[in-house]
Amino acid sequence: MSGAIALPAVPSRRSRLWRRYGLAGFGAGIVLAWILIALLAPWLSPYPPDFVEVTNRLQPPSATHWLGTDALGRDCFSRLLHGARVSLLAGFSVVVLGAGFGTLLGMVAAYARGWVDEALMRLTDLVLCFPPIILALAIAAALGIGTTNTIIAMLVVWWPKFARLARALALVQRGQEYVEAAVVLGLKPARILGRHIVPNAVGPLVVLVTLDVGNAIITFAGLSFLGLGVVPPTPEWGAMVAEGRELVEQWWVATFPGLAILTIVLGFNFLGDGVRDWLDPKARSR
């Protein structure tokens, strides 16, 4: 008898998935496209990125030079494609290394507590005290120009936020009954940390990592814009914007690298939001 009542239709799984993860999929698409471009840049670009042809300088976009040429007559399109390599490499390496180091420090601090915690966290505070861009600027200037040196400079200012977050997450896990149970079972601290605390605490860290790659790309481009990022002939978006900033008439020189930065950062942000929704069970059940 109860089977007889008409039940309203459940919205289809596909439409709900689309509503929830559509934007994230879009972001993932952008990110994936840029990664492919970076990998295939030598084959995709019509000219070598540092092929100088002074007679052909500052040409507007045309069939031969899709995005025009810059002040030295280099093909902007080819440089844009190659620029993705440096940006993505810098973005990923800064975030992955910074997150790894910061997480390790934060989790150890949370688990050890006492003076270890105090020392590590005060060190973190010390780094956090400085404005990150300016500190990175100073370190990069001291180390000298170059992609690796800039990445090192960024790493120095990058790890503390991960250390803070990791410590907070590990502290929450530490109070959980299953961690207490592991203590009572006589497991060693390294195992408790590695097997019980870390796997349950990484969710928000993964979200921060995804959201942060875009941030790192922007910072790296910013340092390059100021002349600290890459050694000159290397194609890099921030440096390309810097080269084009005075060329008002030749708008294409600065505009396209700027758009490239915009799309890749947007892509990472959409993707990060999606990852957050996916990892957050509350947002998921909606």
Partner 1 sequence: MREIPVLEVKDLRTVFLTDAGPVRAVDGVSFTVMPGETLGIVGESGSGKSVTALSLLRLLEEPARIVGGSIRFQGRDLLAMDQEALRALRGDRISMVFQDPMTGLNPVVRILRQLTEHMVAHGRATPAEAKSRAISLLGRMGITAPERSAARFPHEFSGGMRQRVMLGIGFANDPALLIADEPTTALDVTIQAQILDLLRRLNGEFGTAIVLISHDLGVIADVCRRVAVMYAGEVVEEAGTAAVLADPRHPYAWALVNAVPRIGTPLGTDRRLVAIEGAPPDPLALPAGCRFAPRCPFRIARCETEHPPLAEVAPGRLARCWVTQAGEVLPKAGVAGFVGTARIPVATQPILSVRGLEKRFPLPRESLLAPRRVVHAVNGIDLDVARGETLGVVGESGCGKSTLARLITRIHAPSAGSIVFDGQEIGQASAAEIRPLRRRLQMVFQDPYASLNPRMRVGDILAEPLIAHGLIGRGAAARERVTELLATVGLNPAWATRCPHEFSGGQRQRISIARALALQPDMILADEPISALDVNIQAQILNLMLDLQQRMGLTYLFIAHDLAVVRHLCDRVAVLYLGKVMELAPSAELFARPLHPYSSVLISAVPGRAGRILLQGEPPSTLAKPTGCPFRGRCPIARPICETPPPLVEHAPGCFAACHFPGEFAPPPSP
Q: Catalog residues that contact partner 1 under the rule CB under 8 A.
A: 1-2, 5-8, 10, 13, 176-178, 180-188, 191, 195-196, 199-200
Q: How far is the CB of 3 from partner 1 (least distance, A)?
A: 10
- Closest contact distance (angstroms) between CB of 118 and partner 1 is 13
Nearest to 232 by CA among 222, 218, 244, 243: 243
Considering beta carbons, is residue 181 or 283 the nearer one to partner 1? 181
Nearest-approach distance from CB 137 to partner 1, in angstroms? 34
Indicate the residue among 191 and 245 with the shorter CB distance to partner 1: 191
Least Å from the CB of residue 179 to partner 1: 8
Residue nearer to partner 1 on the CB measure, 95 or 192: 192
Q: How far apart are CA 123 and CA 55, in angstroms?
A: 55
Closer Cβ to partner 1, 161 or 174, answer by number: 174
CB of 188 to partner 1, least distance (A): 7
Q: Which residues of 258-267 are buried (b: 16+ CB within 10 A; e: fewer)?
A: bebbeebbeb
Name the residue nearer to partner 1 (CB basis): 125 or 180: 180
